[in-house]
Every structure is written in structure tokens, then in C-alpha cells.
Structure 1
Amino acid sequence: MSAVAGKGDGTIGKALSVLDQVAALGRPVRFSELVPHSPFPKATLYRFLQSLVSQGMLAHDPERGVYTLGLRLVRLAHSAWSTASLAPVARPHLDQLSAKVGETVHLAQLDHAQVLYVDKRNAGIPVEMYSQAGKVGPAYCTGVGKAMLAFLPPDMLDGVLSQQSYHPFTHSTLTGAAELRAALARIKERGHAFDREEHEPGIICVAVPILSREGRVLGAVSITGSTERTGLAALERFVPALRAAATAIAEDAGNWQFPDAAPQIISKTG
């Protein structure tokens, strides 16, 4: 799910929405594939594509007639990973946690009301799952997402919840704001969240938020396993280790003068 340009975003916002559309497909894409799903007329869409190519944000292969993400994005992504994500600060703590628990460890942040996975450590015996560093997932049905949502200020939470899709990925997915709010209240009370096969069948996790000294949500860290190998009760035993890792990450982030990590809330259109 890509971000949509708001009404007040102007030309830059519209061009970035085209960039999001290309990126969402995850492969080289032809102009004719973009047209049916674009809110812009053909001429406008083509003009945005050409501008993005000229700026190095997209690359165009004239022989195959396809567009791909540009190398300038690689440079920008590397810079963002180094300066605006928790990943560099959290690396040693994720390594220690992974070695201690032997299960998959995720580090995530909120991005436009969604979950952005910024780092991952695989289990000793890897489990196939959706989440990978750089991927975006839903906040309402993932452990890391719910752990972060539960600790957002009320006004910010309202905006984030209004942007959730509530698509029923599995039989366990929470599919409404009222149901989710009740779950978030319980998560905030106990301090950790679960994913009870809510996003992917057979995949469960326990997650805790990473909070600044002021209680601001910086991100979340989770331990994930397969129902074939473990259960929620077994994962919950790792909560003390999770909390210790989250506290250490928050402390290092604060010492590093980590930039404001509050999620950006975008207005819905259409």
C-alpha cells in the first residue's frame, strides 16, 4: 500500500505518488500498466515519469519500454538508513537478542501509519514470512504495529487508525477500529503486544515498543516464530529480554540525538 498525495501536496506530492506506484509493483513496469491505476491523465502521468527519470529517481529502458527505480534512490535510501532509522543504533542490541533467543527478531518504525521493517535477524532455522528489512506492512495486525499504536498520543492514534485498511488477512485479523482500540488498551496496560496469526497463518510474535525518555514512540522490536515450532506462551517468556533490548536501543538513540521519529500522518483522499 503506497502513500497517496494529499490535496495540498502540489506537484512534488503528485510526482512522489507516481514513484510510489512504480515501487509498489516491485519490478520493471510499462507505461501502459501504470495508466489504468493512476489518478492522473496520460499526459500528466507521462510528464511526471519523465521528470522522475531526469532527476534520477526512476530509470527508463527505451529498448524494453520499462521504468525501474533509479540509482539516486539507492543513495538516498542508504543515507536514510544511516541517519533517520533506528537500524544503526539498534544493530548490536539486535545481535545480542537474536543470539540469546534463537528466534527471528524484527526492528520496525511507523511510516505514514504503516509499519516499516528497518532491520531483521533470522532464526537459527529461518522461517519463511512476509517481513523483510525495507518492506512495509500493516500496523493494525502486526505485533510491532500494535505495540507502537498502543503508546501513541490520542490525537495521533486517531489519525493513524483512520488510515488502516482493516483487511482480514486471516481468521484472527482485527477488522475494525473499535475492536483494535480495545486491544490496544490491553497492550498498553501489560506493556507488550502479540501477533496471533493476524497477518500470516502460522506466524506469531511478541513485541514491545521502543520509547524515548519522554514516552515518545521511536519504534518497536519483536520476536517471531512459527506455530509449528513454538507458541505464544513460549514467546512471552522472552518479554524481559525484549524490554531490555528496547530500553538499550532507546538509550543509545537518545544519546545519538535521534531525530523526531513520530509517525507522519497523511490525510486520506478520495
Structure 2
Amino acid sequence: MAAAERGADGTVGKALNILDQIAEFERPVRFGELLANSEHPKATLYRLVQSLTNQGMLSYDEERQTYAPGLRLVRLAHAAWRQSSLAPVARPFIDALASEVQETIHLAQLDRGQVLYVDKRMATNPLEMFSQAGKIGPGFCTGVGKAMMAFLEDEAREDAIRRQAFLQHTPNTLITADALRAELQTIRREGIAFDREEHEPGIICIASPILSESGRVIGALSITTSTQRQSLDGLLPHRPLLLKTASEIATAAETWQFPS
């Protein structure tokens, strides 16, 4: 029985990895492209792709011979957004914050040391940047990522640090675990994090963790802009409103069965 369960888990894991792979293309993908990047033999990959298609997790375009996320997966994603993300609770608060500061607001949660953007509310002149709702970003070089990691318990924080790739995205990127640890200590002391063009050139932010009443990290909030429009010193006057909004979201989340 245990062996059968392990086998079933293995199959599910393989199928989920294929869904991740297709999602990373951010466009419909041909089977040959999947095969070129797959660790599975052709027959195994084909069987898994067909099973996912039969179950509605993938859709197949016969004319173009491409695969894309299916409608069943879209429905599940919307259900997850409603039930397991902070976004529905936070939406009115971040809308109000975006309207007040006239900058882009990001709402994020931490997923195995990485940043999952769960909502993005833009001012009247939105910026083109990496972060979009549903995207995964690095924890070590984003304001929201550092804000969340700084307030994790010691063991969880070290686990998150171990999961970082420490790629140098810009000249300002922190590229060692020790440099990140020092930064996280400062963030924990001051209660706010900065992105100093560490992930994308020209993109800066101030960020605050969203903490439950018990101090558990449930998300993070940032005010993001470009160096063409503003400076970090120029963002600092928004700090009280950012912290107030994060606190309001945390209070609203207390009345909801927020997942551990």
C-alpha cells in the first residue's frame, strides 16, 4: 500500500511539474518544446500530457498543435485566489492606498522562500515591471520578499535564505547569504524594507510585512515606483500610510480562516 501511495504521489508530482513547465513558457507550447526541456522519456511525457488534457488541466489547439493551461486549471486558480490568498481580503485596502499615493501597490505572499505576487493595483500611470499577479519572484532582492523573510522565525528564515539563488540582477543586488542576513536584521529593527533597484534597474519600493496578531507573517505590501518619477527619500513620507494599511489588512485577515 505504501509503495502504491508513493507511486501515485510520484505521478502527481510529475504532472504538476509539467504544468509548471508549460506555465513558464507564458504562451502556448508544442509537444516538441516540452520534450526538449523534459527529464521524461517521450512516451512518459506524452502519456502525462494526454492525461492532463483529458482532465481539462491542459487545453490542446489542434490547428496550431499547441498546449496551454486548461479551463479547469483556471477555475482552480480562481478558487485558490479566493480561498487561499490574501488578495480578496486586502483588495479594498490596497485600492485605497493606490488612490492615495498614486503609485503601484504590490501585495505578496511567501512561497518556499520565493515571492508570490497575489495582487497588483496600479496608479493612473502604471509602470512596466516584472511583477504581475500570479508571478513568482525572488525573495532576496525584492522589497516584499525581504520584508517577509525578516519577520520569519529563526529556523524558517534560515530555510528561506537557503532557498535563494543569489543571482546578481543589478549592481545593487545582495548576492551573499551574510549580506542578506544583515539586511534582514535592519529590516526587523526598522519595520520596513527597501528595494534599491536590486531586482530591476530603475524600479524602487518601500515595503512592509503584514503580520497576524501573533506575529506570523501572512504577506507583505509595497509602494513601488521608478527612479524616473521618484526617489526612495521621496517614498518615505508614505511610510505611515503603508504601515497603517498593512495593519488594517492584518486585522481584516484575523476574522478569516487564513491558511497556515
TM range (shorter): over 0.9
Verify: 1:255 aligned to 2:247, yes or no.
Answer: no
The 5-angstrom pairing of residues 234-245 of structure 1 reads 234-245=234-245
TM-aligned CA deviation for residue 112 of structure 1: 2.9
Query: SS of the residue aligned with 1:219?
Result: strand
Rounded to whole Å, the distance in 2 between the matches of 1:31 and 1:115 is 29
Deviating more after overlay: 123-132 vs 203-212: 123-132
How far the C-alpha of 1:9 sits from its partner, in A, is 4.8
Residue 123 (structure 1) shift: 2.0
Instruction: Find the residue that maps to 2:130 and give its secondary structure.
Output: coil
Q: How does 1:126-205 map to 2 (within 5 A)?
A: 126-205=126-205
Pair 133,56 (structure 1): closer, same or farther in 2 beyond 3 Å: same
What does residue 18 of structure 1 align with?
18
- Residues 165-191 of structure 1, C-alpha deviations (whole Å, 9 max, x = no match): 111111111112111111111111101
Secondary structure at 1:152 match in 2: coil
> Which has a greater percent of helix?
2
Amino acid at match of 1:51: S
Q: TM-score, normalised by structure 2?
A: 0.94
Q: How many residues align?
A: 254
In terms of mean alpha carbon deviation, does 16-25 or 52-61 score higher?
52-61
Moved over 4 A (4+): none
Report the alpha carbon displacement of residue 66 of structure 1 after superposing the two structures with TM: 1.1
**Aligned letter for 1:156?**
A
Give the SS at the match of 1:238. Answer: helix
Identify unmatched segments of 5+ residues in structure 2. 1-6
Partner amino acid, structure 1, of 2:206: V
**Which letter maps to 2:136?**
V
Q: Structure 1: which 5+ residue stretches go unaligned? A: 1-6, 261-270
User: Aligned-pair distance for 1:234?
Assistant: 1.4
1:58, CA displacement in angstroms? Answer: 0.6
Superimposed CA distance per residue, residues 8-40 of structure 1 (whole angstroms, 9 cap, x where no aligned partner): 951111110011000100111111111122121
Letter of the 2:126 counterpart? P
Other-structure match for 1:41: 41
**Alpha-carbon distance in 1 for matches of 2:254, 2:136:** 25
**Residues 247/8 of structure 1: CA separation in 2 closer, same or farther (3 Å cut):** farther
CA distance in 1, matches of 2:26, 2:118: 18
Once the two structures are superposed, residues 57-110 of structure 1 have per-residue CA deviations (whole angstroms, 9 ceiling, x without a partner) of 111123322111100011111111111111111111111111211111111111
Structure 2 residue aligned with 1:119: 119
Cα distance in 2 between the residues matched to 1:160 and 1:174: 15
Task: Tell me: higher relative CO, structure 1 or 2? Use CA pairs within 8 A at least 6 residues apart.
Answer: 1
Greater displacement, 211-220 / 170-179: 170-179
Q: For residues 74-85 of structure 1, what are the structure 2 equivalents within 5 Å?
A: 74-85=74-85
| Letter paired with 2:244 | A
Aligned to 1:265: none
Which residue of 2 is the match for residue 206 of structure 1?
206
User: Aligned with 2:108: secondary structure?
Assistant: strand
Match of 2:215 in 1: 215
Sequence identity percentage:
59
